[in-house]
Amino acid sequence: MIDENIIECLENVANILRLHSIRPTTKAKSGHPTSCLSSAEIVATLFFNVMNVDPKHIDYLDNDEFILSKGHAAPVLYAALAEIGVFPREKLMTLRQFDSELEGHPVPRVKGIRVATGSLGQGLSIGLGMAYAKRLLGINRRVYVLLGDGEVAEGSVWEAINLAGKLKVSNLIAILDMNRLGQSEPTMFQWDGEAYARRVEAFGWNTTICNGHDVKDLLRAFEEARKSDKPFFIIAKTTKGKGISFLENIEGRHGTALSEEELKRAESEILPKIKEIKFQPSNFIEAKISIEPRKKYSIKTDYKIGDMIATREAFGRALVKLGEQNERMVVLDGDVKNSTFTIYFFNKFPERSLQCYIAEQNMVGVAVGLQSQGFDVFLSSFACFLSRAYDQIRMASYSRANLKIAGSHAGVSIGEDGPSQMGLEDLALFRAVFGSIVLYPCDAVSAEKLTCAMANYEGISYIRTTRPKTPVIYSNDEEFHVGGSKALRCSANDEVTVVAAGVTVHEALKAYEKLKADGINIRVIDCYSVKPLDAETLIKASKETKHIITVEDHYPEGGLGEAVASLGLKPHILAVRKMPHSGKPEELLAEQGIDAGGIVRKVKELIL
C-alpha cells in the first residue's frame, strides 16, 4: 500500500515546482513554463521519493542520475534542485540573467546538472552512457531521463533505444512527458501511448503507460521500472500547461512566459493548493564515491626512420599503451574498428570497449555520458561520418565534456573509395567547436605522441589520421605538444615557407628536394597542431621569407590555410578546390595541386 500522506506531500511539491517555474519565467519575460507544468508531478516524484540522491554531495557517483532531455523545461529542474537544498530558493528568480548560473537551458554550472541539454534528442544517449558507466564501475544506481514527446521524432533517440535494448541496460529508465503539443502544432502521435509503447518494446525495452499527473500511478510505474531486467520506458500522459486552467492543452504557448496579469491569475489557482506540510523524503542518502582526479600519461615509441606506417594504425597502437596505464579509459567505435585501428584496444581490453555500430550521433552522446562519470573516452569513425554527429559534438563542448575524437580516412588521399568516404570538412568543423584542439600528425611517431597529448587534454580534442601508409620521419625521442609545430627544413636563405600537415608534409618534403636541385630554398613546417597554431613560429617564418604557402588535403574553407590567415598572415592556400572523385591517391593529390608538383609550381610562380 502506498502511504496517502506521501501522495499528498508529492502533490504539494509538484505545485510548489509549478510556482517556481512560472514566477522566474515571467520575471525573465521568456522561457517555456507550459512544458514545466506538464512535468511537475514527474519531477516531484523522482526527486522527493524515487531517486537515491544526496543533496549535499549530488555530484558524487553513487547518486541516481537525472537528465532533462527536454531542456527547455529547465525551470522545473532548477526548482527541484532548490527544493532539495542544492542551492538557495532565492536564486531561482535569477533565471536567464546575465550573471546567473541558471541559464535558459541546462548547462553544468549548477551541481546536479552534469551535461548540457536543450538541443533535443540527445539526453537518452547521454543517459545510456551514464548507465553503462555505472555498470562498469559496479555502482548499483539508476539513470532517469525525462524526454519530451516532440523530441522522440529525432533519429538519435531511436539510436539510443536500439543500443540500450541490445545491451540490456536495466538501470536506464526513460520517462516520456506525453503532453501532446509540440512547438508549432501537435506532436506526431499526440496522446497515443500505445503507438510509442509498440515501437519501444520492439527494441527490447519494457514499457508502461501511466497518468503523469497521478502521483500514485507514477509511483506504480517507477516500481515496475525498479524490477525490470531490461531498460524501462514510462509513457506518462500529461497535459501541457497543467495546473493553470487557461493554459491547459492550449496550442501556441510553447515558448511564451506568462504576463504579469496572467501570473496573478495563475497564482490564484496554484497557491490555494499549496499547504504547509512537514515532509521528510525517504530517498535521501549519504553518497560516498567522488570522481577521481584525472592523471597525466606518457608513452614511448619504437619506430625506425623510413618505416611505412599509417597514422591511423599508430593511433591504435597508442590507445593500447594508454589503456595499460589508465583503467578508466574506454574506447568507442562506430563499426569501423578494423579501419580506425581501435581494434587493437578492443582486442586487448574488451571490457572497456564499446561497439556503437553505425550510429554516430548516439556514439557521441554515449561518450558524453561515460566521461561525466569520470571515464577518459576515445571514440573514432571515418572523419566524414563524424559530421553526422556534429550537433552532439557541439553540445558536448557546452557540457564541458572531456572527449578524444579520432577521424580517419581524411582527404582525397584515401583514393578509390571516392568522395562519400573522404573527410574534407572535418578541420573546419572541429576548429569551430568551443575550446577544442585539432591535431593532424604526419607519421607514426607524431601520431602516437599526439594521441597521448589528447589523453592529457581536458576538453574536446580531435586527431585527424590518414588512410595510406606514410614514412616515419621523426626519431622516437621527438616530443610534440598542443600548439606546437616542427620546422623540418630551415635556412637563412629560404625564400618561401611551405606550411603543411598530415599527408601533405611528405609532399612538401619532396618539393623541397626538387626545388633545392633548382637552387631554390624553401622552409618546410609541419603544422601538426592546427588549433591552436604555433603562432610564434609561423609569424617568424612569414617575416623571414617572402611568401607563405599552406597546403592541405581539405577544402579551403575553414582548413589549415584559413587558420594561418587568422594570424593576420596572407598565405597562398593550396587545397581541394575541384570536385573530388575516385582515383589513385597520387592522381587525386596531383589533380588538386596539393602534391609535390603543385607545391613546386606555386613556389616558382611566386618567385620567378
572: three-class secondary structure by DSSP? strand
In degrees, rounded to 5, the angle at the alpha carbon of residue 421 between the alpha carbons of residues 420 and 422 is 100
- Angle subtended by helix axes 503-517 and 596-607, to nearest 10: 50
- Sheet containing 232-237: give its strands across: 65-68, 143-148, 172-178, 232-237, 206-211
Task: Report the candidate in 500, 440, 502, 494 with the shortest Cα–Cα distance to residue 468.
Answer: 502
Beta bridge partners of 407: 381, 464
60: three-class secondary structure by DSSP? coil
Going 215 to 219 to 225 to 226, the CA torsion angle's sign is positive
- Angle subtended by helix axes 360-372 and 155-167, to nearest 10: 60
List the catalytic residues: 360
- Can you read off the three cell numbers belonging to residue 344? 587493437
- Angle subtended by helix axes 123-137 and 155-167, to nearest 10: 20
* E strand or H helix that includes residue 550: strand 547-551
Looking at residue 373, its amino acid is Q
Looking at residue 20, its amino acid is H
Burial 417-427 (b: 16+ CB within 10 A, else e): eeeebbbbbbb
- Can you read off the three cell numbers belonging to residue 23? 514566477
**Burial zone of 579 (CB within 10 Å; 0-12 exposed, 13-18 middle, 19+ buried):** exposed
Whether the Cβ atoms of residue 602 and residue 572 lie closer than 8 Å to each other: yes
- Can you read off the three cell numbers belonging to residue 524? 618546410
3-state SS, 144-167, equals EEEEECCHHHCHHHHHHHHHHHHH
Residue with the three cell numbers 573514432: 380
Residue with the three cell numbers 525495452: 205
State how far the Cα of 466 lies from the Cα of 209, in Å rounded to an integer: 50
- What count of residues does the chain have? 608
- Sheet containing 572-574: give its strands across: 486-489, 522-526, 496-500, 547-551, 572-574
State how far the Cα of 363 lies from the Cα of 380, in Å rounded to an integer: 9
State how far the Cα of 344 lies from the Cα of 347, in Å rounded to an integer: 5
Whether the Cβ atoms of residue 516 and residue 567 lie closer than 8 Å to each other: no
Task: Report the candidate in 240, 202, 248, 210 with the shortest Cα–Cα distance to residue 50.
Answer: 210
- Can you read off the three cell numbers belonging to residue 139? 555502482
Peptide bond preceding 571: is omega within 30 degrees of 0, i.e. cis? no
Going 392 to 397 to 403 to 409, the CA torsion angle's sign is positive
